[in-house]
Structure 1
Amino acid sequence: MDKPKFFEKSRDVITPSLSEALMPRSARIPREVLVGSIHGLFLRGGCGPSTICPPVETFCVNSLGCKVNQYEANQARQQLERLGLRPVGLDGAPDLVVVQTCCVTGTAAAKSRQLLRRARRINPAAHIVITGCLPAIDSGELPPLGANMTAITDPDRATATLSAIVQSDPSPLVHRPSSIAPAGDSRFNTEPTQAPATTSRFAGHTRAFLKVQDGCDGWCAYCIVPRTRPRLSSKPVDEVLAEARALVAAGHKEIVVSGVFLGAYGRDTVKRCNWTDRSTDRLAELLNRLAEVDGLARIRLSSLEPGDITESLADCLCSHPNIMPHLHLSLQSGSDRILKRMRRQYTGGQYLDVVAMLKSRLDRPAITTDIIVGFPGETDEDFDQTISLVQAVGFSRVHVFPFSPRQGTAAAQMSDPIDPAIIRHRSQTLRRLAADLAQAFREQFIGETAEVLIESQTSRVAAFREAKGWFDPALAFGKDRHPDAIRNTTYEIRNTNDERRTTYTASGRTQRYFTALIEDHPTPIPKGAIRKVQLTANRPTHATARIS
């Protein structure tokens, strides 16, 4: 069959697959490849005619963005380990670099490009695989593919495509959904994708992410995600349970159930008005099963919307103590007018009703949220409505996002942008309020018992002197750490015995997600352990605690 004119034939030796890289160099043969820039195809750079392709022994996977991206990066990491490659850090000049990109904002896309440049600078001979959301959109932000670079343009097929790269099988690579097409476009490719491999551990993480849902067709005015992940899919319950058991067996005590639009688990659209069967809450059914997995101490949910909180889901949260009393409910704005412009599926009043229902059924739940400040057309009155709603809810944490137009979204075309100076001022106002609310939320738990999942630990060695029951607190604890009541006090020390003592400081998350700091503990506290603590004091960013 004749090839399109925008393709040209090349007899160059292209970057070898991993299996080829392990062969003797003399066994490799040049292969004919198609190189070109046709929109919508898998693109692959190659070695030039005089370039010797290096063997592949080490790899590095870097991820930017959300929990779904981190999950998929972990899939790639485990896959390459199963193929016998050795993981190293990026500074270790790996032979293969996988960059899981993010493009939800222009800043995220810029960071993705910076990471690609850094990887190329550290090891110019490395094969770089670009995956995630950035290659999936035709925004012009992806840098030109150089030698030894591969772009996977369909995130849904990233695992299958990475396997094809490794095995040098191009058959599934020339594929991409028409992700820029609007819903209902007949050109939209709805071909089922190959199910990705599951994960069995999250090395270096105390909490494991478990992606159960992918895709969004909601087309919120500010969001690029429907262009990058337009097809909805949900992982079958049995596969979710099997993966959860594997993660527990690997030592993870907490699993974060994640998805691009988690509330649409088991649905073929995120638009609730198009749901034909509303009598069944499939997310609640999944969580009821997941909560029964032996050894799973904690379940946490990623972002939800108010419409996702049904009576069935509330019943589920109340029935299982290992589902944490913490819900991240996206708000974005407290103004109904702005919510409508954003194309959100709720009003401020509906949001408050859901929060009131949760507070009536759960013991002081932590409600966290995201808010966009300075969306086009946002007036002072709109912002005041957001402030009032934030105060009414009493959020335990607020992520404040100053609006920046994202190329390819409806909001980027709106004609009434807000002055950047006003956006900065409003953002500062909201952040100050959020900090006050977070501290007020923690205050109600001071003096109570909580459980902390240890995420990090440090140690310090201090001199300790004893003599007839007296000690020098400045030496024992350091000049700035002994109690104020004995600060700058000098004791007469006789018959002293010098001793070096190590104390440990650990930090982690409570059930309600705020950080607790355990200071000067006499013995190590293993990372990933859950410890019962007494919350002792409230600091600006965390609570202090001692082990009960």
Structure 2
Amino acid sequence: MNAPEVISLGCRLNIAESERMKAMLADSGDVVVINSCAVTSEAVRQTRQAIRRARRARPYARLIVTGCAAEIERDAIAAMPEVDGLIANAAKLDPRAWNVPLPAAPPAPTRTRSFIAVQNGCDHACTFCVIPQGRGASRSMTIAEVLREVEHHLDLGAQEVVLTGVDVTSWGHDLPGTPPLGALVEAVLSAFPQLPRLRMSSLDGVEIDEALFELFASEERLMPHLHLSMQHGHDLILKRMKRRHSRADAIALVQRLKARRADVAIGADLIAGFPTETAEHHTANLSIIGDLDIVHGHIFPYSPRPGTPAARMPQVEHAAIKARAAQLRSAVAARRGAWLQSLVGETLTVLAERDGTGYAPNYARVDLPEGTPAGTLIDITPAALEGGLLR
């Protein structure tokens, strides 16, 4: 009999949740779970593609879909002939939803980095975003719960822990006393001095509290890699998106951080072709890449999502969206290439992955010597940049 399989699409939160589902379903027999994504129309297309591919590979398995697409595109996904059932996003970590014994043991990580979902859901109303429909209101793990999770992963040999969620910087807003995210990060680092590396997933810059900023600026075990949920480089578009920061806010944050920790690498999410975006707005979006020194860029061509205000705004032509996304990707690639080239000859402590590469603290990807054991930290001095990899 085939072992259960969980196929994860989309964000790091889905990756963390998929690990837990694998543990819950370990004795469930011939079942395939698609942990889906619906952040863009392309993500939904990839979810459908994954469902069809899984059915071809496992024709006799029970095929269950959960995740955001199972909420937001429920009727359409349920109507697919390959699908045997859906599990609500809010219930996917509840063993009762899967008819498996209580309680489920914490999962053993299958990746070299351990992803811990400290927060779920979102209370904001960005006009382009459908994720609150799929994830619900923001809710946080307590500090004690997070510390137990970290301890479990460290006991299993984790060298790096990644704190993730839908809107990580809103962590604590629903807890007694509304502790800031910096309090959680400080608690993790203080409780586990043996933890070599702690990394944060995407953050909303306007909600980075002073304690978290100070840790980013001075704590070596907190990786110098700040990924901002930026979305655009023009203030009018940010206002129409209902984002809570301005272009100047983001630039000031990065300048302030780099003045304290020059090696920090900046990442950002940027949307191309948001409704009403003009050529002038697009030029500002392009220029924010240089102003923030973005070397880890996630570029999303805008696609209207069901039930969102942006879907009712005047839309940009598809060809223009595609062209603008390509320009943004090209600008990020050029800046990233120059940044990677600057790391040649610099000694980097790299966490080895299972594919023969690894990640430096600043999230630069490095090609490792053959036979380097996965999950180990190794000092590497790259001699060249080839194919986007330091070698």
Q: Measure the CA separation in 2 of the matches of 1:198 and 1:354.
A: 40
Which of 67, 73, 76 lines up with 2:18 in the alignment? 73
Please state how far the C-alpha of 1:511 moved relative to its aligned partner: 0.7
**Relative contact order higher in (CA < 8 Å, ≥ 6 apart):** 2
Contact preservation (8 Å) 1:448, 1:535: yes
| Residue 84 of structure 2 corresponds to residue 149 of structure 1 | yes
Alignment of 1:35-50 (within 5 A): none
Contact preservation (8 Å) 2:34, 2:64: yes
Give the aligned partner of residue 530 of structure 1. Answer: 377
Deviations 1:277-316 (A, max 9, x none): 7xx7521111111113143211110100111223211112
- The AA in structure 2 aligned to 1:202 is P
**SS of 1:535 mapped into structure 2:** coil
Q: Measure the CA separation in 2 of the matches of 1:165 and 1:121.
A: 23
Contact preservation (8 Å) 1:139, 1:407: no
**SS of 2:284 mapped into structure 1:** helix
Q: Measure the CA separation in 2 of the matches of 1:412 and 1:147.
A: 29
Give the aligned partner of residue 58 of structure 1. Answer: 3
Which of 368, 383, 405 lines up with 2:267 in the alignment? 368
Deviations 1:9-28 (A, max 9, x none): xxxxxxxxxxxxxxxxxxxx
**SS of 1:386 mapped into structure 2:** helix
Contact preservation (8 Å) 1:220, 1:344: yes
Deviations 1:222-241 (A, max 9, x none): 11011111222111111111
Structure 1 window deviating more from structure 2 (143-152 vs 319-328): it is 143-152
Which of 54, 67, 92 lines up with 1:132 in the alignment? 67
Change beyond 3 A, Cα 1:363–1:371: same
Alignment of 1:73-112 (within 5 A): 73-81=18-26, 84-85=27-28, 95-112=30-47
- The AA in structure 2 aligned to 1:158 is K
- The AA in structure 2 aligned to 1:112 is T
Please state how far the C-alpha of 1:397 moved relative to its aligned partner: 1.7
Contact preservation (8 Å) 1:215, 1:229: yes
**SS of 1:407 mapped into structure 2:** coil
- TM-score relative to the length of structure 1: 0.67
- The AA in structure 2 aligned to 1:514 is A
Structure 2 residue ranges without an equivalent (≥5): none
Which of 68, 77, 96 lines up with 1:163 in the alignment? 96
- The AA in structure 2 aligned to 1:116 is I
Percent pairwise identity: 33
**SS of 1:330 mapped into structure 2:** strand
Change beyond 3 A, Cα 1:199–1:318: farther
Contact preservation (8 Å) 1:328, 1:367: yes
| Residue 177 of structure 2 corresponds to residue 327 of structure 1 | no
Change beyond 3 A, Cα 1:404–1:137: closer
Contact preservation (8 Å) 1:125, 1:148: no
Deviations 1:50-83 (A, max 9, x none): xxxxxx87321111111111111111101122xx
Give the aligned partner of residue 450 of structure 1. Answer: 348
Contact preservation (8 Å) 1:373, 1:427: yes
Give the aligned partner of residue 187 of structure 2. Answer: 289
Which of 412, 424, 428 lines up with 2:311 in the alignment? 412
Change beyond 3 A, Cα 1:168–1:541: closer
Deviations 1:88-119 (A, max 9, x none): xxxxxxx2122211111122222222333333
Q: Measure the CA separation in 1 of the matches of 2:33 and 2:316.
A: 38
Structure 1 residue ranges without an equivalent (≥5): 1-55, 87-94, 170-195, 270-275, 458-505
**SS of 2:99 mapped into structure 1:** helix
Aligned-residue Cα RMSD (Å) equals 2.5
Change beyond 3 A, Cα 1:166–1:526: same
| Residue 108 of structure 2 corresponds to residue 201 of structure 1 | yes
Change beyond 3 A, Cα 1:453–1:126: same
Q: Measure the CA separation in 2 of the matches of 1:383 and 1:518.
A: 38
Counting matched residue pairs gives: 390
Q: Measure the CA separation in 1 of the matches of 2:64 and 2:326.
A: 39
| Residue 276 of structure 2 corresponds to residue 341 of structure 1 | no
Contact preservation (8 Å) 1:59, 1:97: yes
Change beyond 3 A, Cα 1:325–1:168: closer
Alignment of 1:436-447 (within 5 A): 436-447=334-345
Q: Measure the CA separation in 2 of the matches of 1:85 and 1:251.
A: 27
Q: Measure the CA separation in 1 of the matches of 2:328 and 2:73.
A: 35
**SS of 1:399 mapped into structure 2:** strand
Which of 360, 366, 378 lines up with 1:516 in the alignment? 366
- The AA in structure 2 aligned to 1:226 is P
Q: Measure the CA separation in 1 of the matches of 2:206 and 2:386.
A: 34
Q: Measure the CA separation in 2 of the matches of 1:98 and 1:349.
A: 43
Deviations 1:398-453 (A, max 9, x none): 11111111222111111x21122222222222222111111222233332211011
Change beyond 3 A, Cα 1:223–1:147: closer
| Bigger radius of gyration | 1
Please state how far the C-alpha of 1:147 moved relative to its aligned partner: 9.6
Change beyond 3 A, Cα 1:167–1:249: closer
Q: Measure the CA separation in 1 of the matches of 2:287 and 2:100.
A: 57
Q: Measure the CA separation in 1 of the matches of 2:97 and 2:354.
A: 38
- Greater helix share, 1 or 2? 2
| Residue 127 of structure 2 corresponds to residue 221 of structure 1 | yes
**SS of 1:286 mapped into structure 2:** helix
Deviations 1:433-484 (A, max 9, x none): 1111112222333322110111145xxxxxxxxxxxxxxxxxxxxxxxxxxx
- The AA in structure 1 aligned to 2:198 is I
- The AA in structure 1 aligned to 2:377 is I
Which of 313, 327, 342 lines up with 1:429 in the alignment? 327
Q: Measure the CA separation in 1 of the matches of 2:83 and 2:357.
A: 42
Alignment of 1:267-306 (within 5 A): 267-268=173-174, 282-292=180-190, 293-306=192-205
**SS of 2:92 mapped into structure 1:** helix
